[in-house]
Structure 1
Amino acid sequence: MQKDTLHIWNGLRENLHRFILKRVKSQAEAEDILQEVFIKIHLNLPHLKNHSSVQAWAYQITRNQIVDFYKQTRQSVELQDTTLERLSETESRDMYCCFESFIHELPQKYRKVIELINLEGRKQQEVAKLLGVSLANTKSRVHRAKEMLKEKFVACCQFTIDAQGKLKGEQNCQRCGFES
C-alpha cells in the first residue's frame, strides 16, 4: 500500500499542489492541504474500487479538502458562474451533490476538456495540444460543456439562469433530495 501511495505522490503531487495554490492564499496553506490530501489518499486507498480512476478520486479529495479548509477558517464560498468554471474547484460534493455525476454524463469530448481544465487546472492551450485539437476547438468544447452542465443543474437541481446566463437560486435536487 505504501508503494501505491508513493506512486500517486510522485505522479500527482506537483499538479495537485498547483491546483491547491490557485485556490488558497499562501504556500504554507497549500502545503498543509496537500499533506492532508495525501494522508486521506493513503488511508482510503484500500477502499478504492477502480484504480483507473485514481486521478479523479485524488482531485475530488483535494477539492473536498479545500472546502474543509475554507469552512475551518470560516471563509464563505459563493455560487457564481464562474461557478461552472470553479464549482468543482471550490464546492464540496455534499453541497452540490450532482456535480460529479453531471461531469461523468457529458459526452467524452466535453468531459475530457472539463476534467483537464477545471478539475486539473490545466491551461486551454495545453489541453488543445494534449488532445490534438485547435485552441478554438478547445474553447468551443469548454463553452458547450458548461452550457450542458447549466442545463443539468436547472433540470435536476432547480437552479435558474439569470439574464447574464449565470446560475442563480438554491439547490433543490430531484435526484437525491438535497436542499441547500
Structure 2
Amino acid sequence: MKISKYSQASALWLDYQKALTGYILSRVKDTDASNEIMQEVLMKIYSACCSDREIQKLDSWLFQIANHAIVDYWRRQKKFTDEIPEPSQEEENQVWRELAEYVEPLINLLPEKYARPLYLSDIEGVKQADIAEQLNLGLSAAKSRIQRAREMLQKEIQTCCTMETDASGNVIGFSVKESCEPLQRHRKKIE
C-alpha cells in the first residue's frame, strides 16, 4: 500500500489512533509523554505521504514507528536500558480475556461448513475424529476444514481488529476497527 494523499494518512491515523495510544501508554505510563510520542508517530505517518514508499504490512509498520518513537523517548530521558518495559502477566491475561469475547462472533462470520468444525474443535474441545463422525466427514476432510477455518478466522481477525504486539510478536492489546460492523454490534452488547 502506498499512502499517496494526506486524506489517506488522516484516515489511517483515525483507524489506528486508539490502538497506538494504548500501545504507547502501556510502555511509557505517562499521559503527557504518550501524547508527545503520538504526535511524533503522526508526523512520521504524514512524512510517508507521497514518498512513493510501498508499505507491505500496515499494522506492523505503524507499530514499528511507535516502537521506535518510544525507544527515542526513553533515550532522551536517559532511562533506556536495552529493554522497553513489558506488560505484566495480568495485563497480558486481560488482553486475551477481552479478545476471547470476539472469537465466537468472528467464527460466526465464516461459512457454516468451516465454522461448525472449528467451533466444535477449538471452542468445545471435541476431538477431530469425533467431529468427523458427527458431521459425516472423513477424518482427513474434518482436519482440512478445521485448518482452513483457522486460516479464514485469522483473516477475519486481521480485517476486523487492530492487533498491538510487542517486539517479540506477543499480543499486548487490540481494538475493533470501526469498519467491522458485526464486531461493533457485538462490542455494544458486551459493554
Higher Rg of the two aligned structures: 2
TM-score by length of 1: 0.47
Structure 2 length-normalised TM: 0.44
